[in-house]
Structure 1
Amino acid sequence: MHRGKGMKFVGDSRVPATREKFIPKDYSEYPGKTEPFWPNFLLKEWLVGAVFLIGFLTLTIVAPSPLEKEADPTDAAYIPLPDWYFLFLYQFLKYDFASGDYVVIGTVVIPGLAFGALLLAPFLDKGKGRRPHQRPIAVSMMLIGVISIIWLTYEAVAHVNWEERAEMGKIVEEVEIDQTDPGYEIYSNQSCINCHGGNLEGSPAGPTLVGTGLTADEIADIAVNGVGGMPAGQFNGSDEELQQLAEFIASYSEEGGH
């Protein structure tokens, strides 16, 4: 007699053999449909996990996470961004109905309803079918969630000036500034130090002047005519002082300065 043929499995003598819904199936009648947990099933799980781990490690080596300068709590101009997998929540909190006076709705109520709906999905749709059209409630809720996350993430990425962010978070090599240079005295007296810092490192009011790549003539033109958020007429000294200031700053325009 074949293994399992003609046998009835009853786990408890109090369960009548005629009540078949309490009797486990005999999987020996379905060759290839089942396998032992050890080592067959567990070995497959380990292999899949190893492939994922190798792929993840390769990704971290090929495309390492970008680093930014040391965090400065006094830098009010810096706009922090969450990791990419939280960008959809970051974008969601920009809308009027989820921010300001309604921030509790955006941070607690709506996310709570969304995650609660996902948890209740198996109980709201008890269909036995496995095809998408046989599970309309569960499939609809999942599609709404996926589409919302993709759209909000796209909106967050599309409205970020990535070049400006890279410049804000750029790691600037610290250089030793020669404060005995006559140009530094002009730099201080002309109030350049208020916006660009005592070591030309920059501040929320003005960018760093180290490693800009600008020539002395370009720096002199900016000091007189302004650029970007810097208005014209900031320099009010003589032409000789302007030249000294421009040459002093230009000496640090290359990476590493002097």
Structure 2
Amino acid sequence: MQRGKGMKFVGDSRVPDKESRNKIPKDYSEYPGRTEAFWPNFLLKEWLVGAVFLIGFLCLVAAAPSPLEQQADPNNSSYIPLPDWYFLFLYELLKYEYAAAEYVVIGTVIIPGLGFGALLLAPFLDVGPDRKPSKRPIATGLMILGVAATIWLTYKSAAHVNWDERADYSVEAVPDVEIDEEHPGYEVFANNCLSCHGDSLQGNPGLGPSLVGIPYNEDQIKDIAQNGIGEMPSDQFDGTDEELNQLAEFIVSTNEQAAGEGEDSEEDSH
């Protein structure tokens, strides 16, 4: 058979063409692996694999959507921002001594730059024609190292997160009540209780519990505001007796509204 007869393009850019300087494509049949036309055979397979992955990813997102957290509240000093899962490995990297504080440039620029740069240069560093991973030590080693480091750092970061406590930050945990900011007790609440119990009485993890659904009447609320309860110390309220009455009325009225909406939703479900 004459050399070059039945030639086809292949989807392998790693094979340099150093012999031919004309427009006739080279016969790649001497290289390992099955040759096939780049268009449409090889490219169609790439598109099909990408489409299957994309559809599967969309189904996963639809079945288990990412939980949303509440809007940032500058009055909540206990809130610790947490990046999305695909950035957790970088978040964990910044916890190490030589990747944070005065060395933060190392953790944010140098180490990620070296990692991603190595992966980008892998095809140029390892130009062998063989497709077996064992015959491509540089590319395979860099990929395994990158994947292993990402998985390990993500695991270490997720292991230190109290997911039950973070569930309190979810938008689903926000009480479904309408806060009456025109109520005279709201201003008293904002001046005395908002930093610990949130602007919607939803509570702040580590500071104060939710005030929606509490089983206390006005007299009990006034006593708690002055004398404390549980981990809440006494003398937290700073105001007049009239303002104390307004505060108790505001909290009770908000709870009555929440209780009424809860009963309505149960009746609707029936």
Q: In which range does the TM-score fall when normalised by the shorter chain?
A: 0.5 to 0.7
Change (3 A) 1:75 1:116: same
Corresponding residue of 2:165: 164
SS class of match (2:72): coil
Corresponding residue of 1:231: 233
Change (3 A) 1:71 1:194: closer
- The answer on 1:177 being equivalent to 2:173 is no
Change (3 A) 1:132 1:216: same
Aligned residues: 235
Gaps of 5+ in 2: 6-17, 261-270
Counterpart Cα distance in 2 of 1:189 and 1:71: 17
The aligned runs of 1:34-113 (5 Å cut-off) are: 34-35=36-37, 37-38=39-40, 40-41=41-42, 43-73=44-74, 75-113=76-114
Corresponding residue of 1:17: none
Return the TM-score normalized by structure 2.
Answer: 0.64
Superimposed CA distance per residue, residues 151-201 of structure 1 (whole angstroms, 9 cap, x where no aligned partner): 1000110111122222134434342338768xx49x659934564467646
Superimposed CA distance per residue, residues 78-115 of structure 1 (whole angstroms, 9 cap, x where no aligned partner): 22222111110011011121111111111111112222
Larger radius of gyration: 1
Gaps of 5+ in 1: 10-19
For the Cα contact (< 8 Å) 1:127–1:135, is it kept in 2?
yes
For the Cα contact (< 8 Å) 2:202–2:209, is it kept in 1?
yes
Change (3 A) 1:204 1:54: closer
The alpha carbon displacement at 1:71 in A equals 3.0
Counterpart code for 1:226: I
The alpha carbon displacement at 1:148 in A equals 1.0
Q: What is the aligned-residue RMSD (CA, Å)?
A: 4.5
- The answer on 1:25 being equivalent to 2:31 is no
Counterpart Cα distance in 2 of 1:176 and 1:49: 48
Counterpart code for 2:2: G
Superimposed CA distance per residue, residues 28-61 of structure 1 (whole angstroms, 9 cap, x where no aligned partner): xxxx8424724x5555444434433332332222
Identify the match of residue 6 of structure 1 among 2, 13, 28: 2
SS class of match (1:69): coil
Counterpart Cα distance in 2 of 1:125 and 1:42: 23
Corresponding residue of 1:215: 215
For the Cα contact (< 8 Å) 1:69–1:172, is it kept in 2?
no
Counterpart Cα distance in 2 of 1:41 and 1:131: 18
Counterpart Cα distance in 1 of 2:111 and 2:190: 55
**After the TM superposition, which of the residue ranges 105-114 and 46-55 deviates more from structure 2?**
46-55
Return the TM-score normalized by structure 1.
Answer: 0.66
Change (3 A) 1:25 1:200: closer
Counterpart code for 2:36: T
The alpha carbon displacement at 1:247 in A equals 7.6
- The answer on 1:249 being equivalent to 2:251 is yes
Counterpart code for 2:254: Y
Change (3 A) 1:116 1:199: closer
Change (3 A) 1:245 1:62: same
Counterpart code for 1:37: W
